[in-house]
Amino acid sequence: MNPIPPASPLHSSLQKLAAVHRRRLRRLSLLLFLAVAGTLLFEMMIAFTSQDGTNLLLLGLIGLLMLPLVALLGGLMWYLDHRLARSLNTADQLLRDCAPQAFRLASIERASRDGVLAMLHPLAGHSPAEPVHALINPSFRWSPPPRRETEVQVHCRELRPGNELVALQPDGVPLLGKVVDRTAYDRQRRMLRIAALVLLGAALVGIGVFGGV
């Protein structure tokens, strides 16, 4: 029976991001554990010092509610870890399999919940001839792009909307992102703003109607 070969290490430029990912997960796990343990300890102190049957019953109820809460938090941590690990593995494959293309990266919007919208200008004599829009760090803020223009080496299977990419800066720090269609991106953001305004208006109307009853 052949032994299973060990997993190959990540590309050298991604190892620091992987270390940050593991450190943040450990801190988040510790914070959640302290919050749950502190809540239970606080309720136990109240229940045992007051010696009231109601507080003991409340302690038991909180303990029962904590079980699905801990399971939910554990599932959330697993999903977060899985998603971040997948992003790193995808970036590793792009760096190993795709030839670099030289671009000049310029941020054209401030950082938002979705990430930083940037424009990739191809250098002279390189394809494609037209600039490409990319959303840098669309999910997690690992390494924000610089505010000034900088030359990057882009690794991407095909520069089409929806495809993920890795842009290596001159100092070797990678920027993870994906190619986007600027028109579709602006339309989506506009629809989200309209939906938020509609929900806010409906909430204000509901407060006004029910508040006056």
The pLDDT value recorded for residue 4 is: 42
Q: What is the spatial distance between Cα 174 and Cα 177, in angstroms, rounded to a whole number? A: 10
- Residue 164: predicted pLDDT: 92
Give the pLDDT confidence score for residue 7 in this predicted structure. Answer: 54
pLDDT score of 12: 84
- Kindly report whether the global pTM for this prediction surpasses the value 0.85: no
Q: Write down the pLDDT at residue 163.
A: 92
List of the chain residues with pLDDT < 70: 1-8, 47, 50-53, 55-56, 59, 124-129, 138-143, 210-213
pLDDT, position 130: 76
pLDDT 10s digits, 77-111 = 888 888 888 888 999 999 999 999 999 998 887 77
Is residue 103 within 8 A of residue 110, CB to CB? The reply is no
CA distance 106 to 6: 39
pLDDT score, position 2: 45
